[in-house]
Amino acid sequence: MIGLLDANNFYASCERVFRPDLMHQPIAILSNNDGCIIARSHEVKALGIPMGAPYFQVKKILDQHRAVVFSSNFSLYGDMSCRMMTLLDALVPRMEIYSIDESFVDFSGIKDISKLVHHIKNHIWYSLGIPISIGVGETKTLAKVANQVAKRKGKGPSVHILKGESAIDEALQNLTVRDIWGIGRRMSERLLGFGIYTGLQLKQVDPRWMRRQFTVMGERLVQELNGISCLSLEDVRDPKKSIQVSRSFRSPIRELEDLRSVVASYAMRLGEKLRSDGLRTKNIMVHIRTNIFQKNSPQYRNHTVVTLPNPVEDDINLVKACTRALEDIFKEGFGYHKAGVMAFDLLSQEDNVQFDLFSSLPTEDQGRKELFQALDSLNKRYGSGTVSLAACGNKPRWRDGKKNVSPAYTTRWKDLPKVFAK
């Protein structure tokens, strides 16, 4: 049996740990620069506010319901995630971290699964204050289904073990194909076209037919729903295919110099992400655009890809490459609204790399490596952007937009919560 542990409304729950006064109040979390809603508490979901809604569109209804709105605080969420995963890791034989708040668990060899999952749920709730849902099923896909059933039981921590043909069929009957893990919008539209609406209908489809229509991925999906495990628990995370840092600005940027420092700070953030995942990149895309919603002002968007002779993961090379790319596509006379940098075709730092014959051979520069290790640990401890290259300017713009960010309760001494006893 495989379990899927998933924190309930994770970001909102992290905020509540340190603000128990907000236990029953609606909470929404905003994206970087406070642009749109990226996380919602149970109460905000109940108001019908969709994920990704632009904040200005839903501000009125949030205010009416006295919702508390936070800027995103990833120092806090990341640290709480590590704590949650560490607690879990100590209780289970094998696990695979799937996302910031989700983890698959292998229960093979466990006699009393029900007892263990209830223990995990309670342990994380009492040790950390984060409510989680655990779904258990015969395959990863069924564990996901079980988790959805658990989540429907209410906003507190909950558990659901999906076992037995009739229980599985009943759960699948209540899900649309769009709700099934691994089915995106396009695939669900095609399935609907074939008259397949519910998870149960999908389970009953001939796997060979699915293979013809939707390749081997479709076939696996049907088998997983039938309790035949096709997706194993990986000990290591799938290497990410791409890493991106992109944000829209609160006010338009017109000058190349300003945009350059923004892009440089994104490049540094990208370097930080690459290094923390043990990756390097040879291909970097930079994109910029004006505000498409401002119909009266002149519009421009462009992107370009820089391919470097050798894979890199250090900020100095990344900033140089991104700056060069930006200068290629920048045009004067526009108010830029958004920029982004993306690394793709990622290589592991351990991979043997074929170096370019004609470029100078990069020797492993120990000094530079140590420099970035020190920089990463400073930024992790004191907040992203504390130490940066001069290219970023002395006031990274993208940090301006955050109005309501909560303290870094668990990673910064001065933000440590104070407790008073009366």
Q: Which residue in 167, 148, 166 sits closest to 158, CA to CA?
A: 148
For residue 307, which amino acid is it?
T
Cα separation, 342 vs 270, in Å, equals: 8
The H helix count followed by the E strand count for the chain is 13, 13
- What is the radius of gyration, based on Cα positions, of the chain? 24
Count CB-CB contacts under 10 A for residue 353: 14
Query: For Mg ion, which is the closer residue by CB, 10 or 70?
Result: 10
Judged by beta carbon, residue 83 or residue 320, the one nearer Mg ion is: 83
Q: What is the DSSP letter of 416?
A: P
Nearer Cβ to Mg ion, position 100 or 347?
A: 100
- The tally of CA atoms less than 13 A away on the side-chain side of residue 146 is 29
Return the structure tokens found at 398: 């993208």
| Integer Cα distance of 159 and 131 in angstroms | 11
> H-type helices in 157-206, by residue range?
165-173, 185-193, 199-203
CA-to-CA distance for 44 and 52, rounded, in angstroms?
13
Question: CB of 101: closest distance to Mg ion in angstroms?
Answer: 4
Please name the residue that has the structure tokens 């309670």: 122
CB of 12 to Mg ion, least distance (A): 10
- DSSP lists the bridge partners of residue 338 as 248, 289
Nearer to Mg ion, 2 or 222 (CB): 2
Give 12 or 284: the residue with its C-beta nearer to Mg ion. 12
User: How near is the Cβ of 15 to Mg ion at its closest, in Å?
Assistant: 14
Nearest to 200 by CA among 172, 174, 233, 222: 172
Q: Measured from the CB of residue 135, what is the shortest distance to Mg ion in angstroms?
A: 12
Residue 53 CB, shortest distance to Mg ion, in Å, is 18
**Structure token digits, residue 89:** 């890791």
- Residue 116 neighbours by CB under 8 Å, 6+ apart: 91, 92, 107, 110
**Least distance to Mg ion from the beta carbon of 193, Å?**
31
**Alpha-carbon distances, residue 195 vs 173, 183, 192, 201, 203 (angstroms):** 14, 15, 5, 9, 13
Where does this chain bind Mg ion (CB under 5 A)?
6-7, 10, 101
Closest among 411, 409, 388, 413 to 398, alpha carbons compared: 388
Nearer to Mg ion among residue 7 and residue 205 (C-beta): 7
Output 6 or 34, the one with its CB closest to Mg ion: 6
Nearest to 309 by CA among 267, 271, 361, 368: 361
- In the complex with Mg ion, which residue's Cβ is closer, 7 or 391? 7
Q: How far is the CB of 7 from Mg ion (least distance, A)?
A: 5
Nearer to Mg ion, 10 or 77 (CB): 10
Shortest distance, CB of residue 31 to Mg ion, whole angstroms? 17
Minimum distance, C-beta of residue 155 to Mg ion, in the bound complex (Å): 12
CB-nearer residue toward Mg ion: 82 or 347 = 82
Cβ pair 410, 79 in contact under 8 A: yes
Cβ count within 10 A of residue 114: 12
Least CB distance to Mg ion at residue 245 (A): 23
